Structure 1
Amino acid sequence: MRKIISILLISLLVVACEGDIGPPGPPGLDGVNILGNVYEIEADFTSNNGYSIISEFPNTVEVFESDVVMVYLLEEQVNDPTGPVDVWAQLPQTFYLNNGDEVVYNFNHTFFDANIFLDGNAALDLLPPEFTQNQVFRIAILPAEFAEAYDVSTYNKLNQALKQENIDLNLISLN
């Protein structure tokens, strides 16, 4: 009886493994091509430029309409045992003046430039120079798939997400 059951099981396995190979399954999802680019600009906001800076994207960067553009303001540098560390704040950023007025750094963009501008209810021509002179901005251009998949609300979170995926941003020098 044992021999008959063994022979039936072996026969069943052989028959079950025979036959034509079926059609291939559906193709898998394509991987995300993540090539982010970052560059920095320094700008002065004056009445001559309407308190607005237009930064054209470098020619070496291909930007698509679906890409995500993020702009960060260099708020300060803090000391660290390894040296100074930049503190970046994502735009828009609102600052409240002692008199109750508001100043807002904001931006909009197309797929060929970013427009960074001052806004608010303050008299922009009366702002102290620390709001209008030598302002440093970091502009990050990210593929939409990456920006949708991760929290990129701060520059540190953006860097953490990139490190998690073993991706380096291409920091472009404009000099």
Structure 2
Amino acid sequence: MKKIFSLAIVGLLAFSVVSCDRNNNDVVDQVQGTDTYSTAYDLNNVSFVKNASGIYAISRNFNSALIESDVVLIYRKSSTLSDGTAVWQSIPRTLFLTQGELDYDFDFSRLDILIKAGGTFDPALAPTYINNQTFRIVVVPAKTGKNASANSVDTRDYNAVARFYNIKDANLKSL
């Protein structure tokens, strides 16, 4: 009788260990379990303006204030493939040009974003990189990044971010 009881206890423990899984492998549940739904905005054909501090910048206000825990990712359209597909580079980014290094950087608050261009030379000497630029601003919930796992997303890759957060180009808003 003691052998059967011992085997039953071991079996019950093995069953509970195998059936209890704290890892959530469903990416959709990770995103939907937050207070924020991911949102993407486009800034099309915008040019940097030199401000009073001598910094080339683009600033925009959000349509409504972000939740305090939201995170902003920004991508610059660096080129277009022959089939019309945009090529997105995450910023911050340093470009190594013949004139020197050109840096794109940004900061954000709950109310706005500020994208900056600067470097080892005056960006006005490379107008192609500061005029008529297109940026994609992606707002995502920070909660999904809190517990990194095998399902985490490479935020440097816009296409991976769009897949992870189910962002559709048809749903993009202008900022």
The answer on 1:45 being equivalent to 2:48 is: yes
Change (3 A) 1:94 1:116: same
Equivalent residues of 2:69, 2:143 under 8 A apart? no
Letter in 2 for 1:137: F
Compute the displacement of 1:160 (Å). 2.6
2:60 to 55, 60, 79: 55
Q: Which moved more, 1:134-143 or 1:41-50?
A: 41-50
| Higher Cα Rg, which structure | 1
Within 2, Cα distance between the matches of 1:110 and 1:173?
18
Equivalent residues of 1:47, 1:125 under 8 A apart? no
How many positions carry a matched residue from both structures?
A: 135
Within 2, Cα distance between the matches of 1:168 and 1:117?
25
The answer on 1:72 being equivalent to 2:70 is: no
Tell me the residue number matched to 1:144: 142
Tell me the residue number matched to 1:171: 172
Compute the displacement of 1:156 (Å). 1.3
Tell me the residue number matched to 1:18: none
Within 2, Cα distance between the matches of 1:47 and 1:54?
11
Give ranges in structure 1 of 5+ residues lacking alignment. 1-28
Letter in 1 for 2:63: P
TM-score, normalised to structure 2's length? 0.68
Q: CA RMSD in A?
A: 2.3
Give per-residue Cα distances to partners, 1:87-135, cap 9 Å, x unaligned.
1111011111124x100111011111110010211122322x2111101
2:160 to 146, 157, 162: 157
**Which runs of structure 1 show a deviation greater than 6 angstroms over 4 or more consecutive aligned residues?**
none
